[in-house]
Amino acid sequence: MTATTTAAAAIARSYRDYDRPLWQRVLLTREMAIIALVVLVSVVAAATVRGFGQPITVTYLLLDVMPILLIALPMTLVMITGEIDLSVASIVGLSSVLTGVLTAGGLPFEVAAVVALVAGAVCGAVNGFLVTVVGLPSLAVTIGTLALFRGLAVGLLGTTAITDFPDFWTDLAKARVGGSNVPVVLFVFLVLLVVFIVLLHFTPFGRGIYAIGLSKAAARFSGVHVERTKFVLFVLAGTISALAGVFYTLRFGSARGDNATGLELQVIAAVVLGGVSVFGGRGAIHGVIAGVLLIGVLSSALRLANVTSDVINIITGALLVLSVVATSFLAWLRKRRKAPGGTPRIEASTAG
Partner 1 sequence: MTATIEKTAVTKRLHAIGAVREFGILLALALVVLAATVANPNFLFSADGWRDLLLTPSILVLVAIGQAIVIITRNVDLSVGSILGLSAYLTGRLFIDLQGIPIVAVFVIAVVFGGLLGLVNGALVAFAKVPAMVITLGTLYAYRGINVLWTGSDRINASDLPKDFLALGTGQILWIPILTIIAVVVLAVTGWIMKNTRGGREFYAIGSDPAAAELYGLRVTRRLLIAFVVSGALAGLAGVLYAARYGTINSQAGSGWELDAVGAAVIGGVAITGGVGSVWGAAIGAWLLLTINRALPILGIPDFWQRAVVGALIIGAIVLDRVLAVRQRRKLLEAREDDR
Partner 2 sequence: MSDTPRMTADTPPAPAATPPMLELENVAKSFGAVVALRSGSLRLERGSIHALIGENGAGKSTLVKIVAGLYRRDAGDFRLNGESVDFGSTAQSKAAGIAVIYQEPTLFPDLTVTENVFMGRQPVGRFGRIDRKAMRAEVEQLFARLGVGIDPDRPAEGLSIADQQVIEIAKAVSLDARVLIMDEPTAALSGVEVDRLFQIARSLRDEGRALLFISHRFDEVFALCDTVTVMRDGAYIATTPIGETTVDGLVRQMVGRDVTDLFPKLPAEIREPLLEVEGLSSPLFHDISFTVRAGEIVGLAGLVGAGRSEVARAVFGVDAYDEGTVRLGGRAIPKNRPDAAMRAGLALVPEDRRKQGLVLESSVARNVTLAIRETIAKAGLITSGMENRAAKEWASRLEVKTNALSTVAGTLSGGNQQKVVLGKWLATEPRVLIIDEPTRGIDIGTKSEVHRLLSELAGRGMGILMISSELPEVLGMADRVLVMREGRITAEIDRDDATSENVMFAATHAQGAHQ
Smallest separation (angstroms) from partner 2 to the CB of 76: 18
Nearest alpha-carbon partner for 88 in 326, 321, 260, 273: 260
- The string of DSSP letters for 325-337 reads HHHHHHHHHHHHH
With binding defined as CB under 8 A, does residue 141 bind partner 1?
yes
Determine whether 238 is exposed, middle or buried from the number of CB atoms within 10 Å of its CB (0-12, 13-18, 19+).
Answer: buried
- Among 26, 44, 278, 348, indicate the residue that binds partner 1 (CB under 8 A): 278
Smallest separation (angstroms) from partner 2 to the CB of 331: 11
CB-nearer residue toward partner 1: 276 or 289? 276
Give the span between the Cα atoms of 45 and 298, in whole angstroms: 8
Nearest alpha-carbon partner for 41 in 296, 213, 287, 244: 296
Using CB under 8 A, which of the segments 63-71, 216-224, 246-254, 322-330 binds partner 1? 322-330
Task: Map the footprint of partner 2 across residues 244-283, applying CB under 8 A.
Answer: 281
Give the span between the Cα atoms of 37 and 34, in whole angstroms: 5
Determine whether 6 is exposed, middle or buried from the number of CB atoms within 10 Å of its CB (0-12, 13-18, 19+).
Answer: exposed
Using CB under 8 A, which of the segments 71-79, 233-241, 247-255, 343-351 binds partner 2? 343-351
> Site mask, partner 2, residues 309-338, x = CB under 8 A?
-----------------------------x
Binding partner of 269, given partner 1, partner 2, none, CB within 5-8 angstroms per partner class: partner 1
Rounded to 10 deg, the angle between the 263-273 and 311-338 helix axes is: 30
> Site mask, partner 2, residues 218-237, x = CB under 8 A?
xxxxxxxx------------
**Residues 46/301, Cβ–Cβ less than 8 Å:** no
**Amino acid identity at 216:** K
Give the span between the Cα atoms of 211 and 224, in whole angstroms: 8
With binding defined as CB under 8 A, does residue 22 bind partner 2?
no
With binding defined as CB under 8 A, does residue 144 bind partner 1?
yes
Bridge partners of residue 255, in order along the sequence: 162
Smallest separation (angstroms) from partner 2 to the CB of 341: 7
With binding defined as CB under 8 A, does residue 194 bind partner 1?
no
With binding defined as CB under 8 A, does residue 324 bind partner 1?
yes
- Among 128, 208, 257, 283, indicate the residue that binds partner 1 (CB under 8 A): 257
Smallest separation (angstroms) from partner 1 to the CB of 222: 26
Task: Map the footprint of partner 2 across residues 167-206, applying CB under 8 A.
Answer: 198, 202-204, 206
Nearest alpha-carbon partner for 229 in 268, 265, 270, 200: 200
With binding defined as CB under 8 A, does residue 18 bind partner 2?
yes
Contacts of 300 (CB under 8 A, 6+ apart): 45, 52, 57, 60, 61, 64
- The string of DSSP letters for 251-269 reads HHT-B-TTTTTTHHHHHHH
Binding partner of 3, given partner 1, partner 2, none, CB within 5-8 angstroms per partner class: partner 2
Task: Map the footprint of partner 2 across residues 47-76, applying CB under 8 A.
Answer: none
Binding site for partner 1 (CB under 8 A): 84, 130, 134-137, 139-141, 143-152, 154-155, 157-159, 257, 261-262, 265, 268-269, 272, 278-279, 308, 310-321, 324-325, 327-329
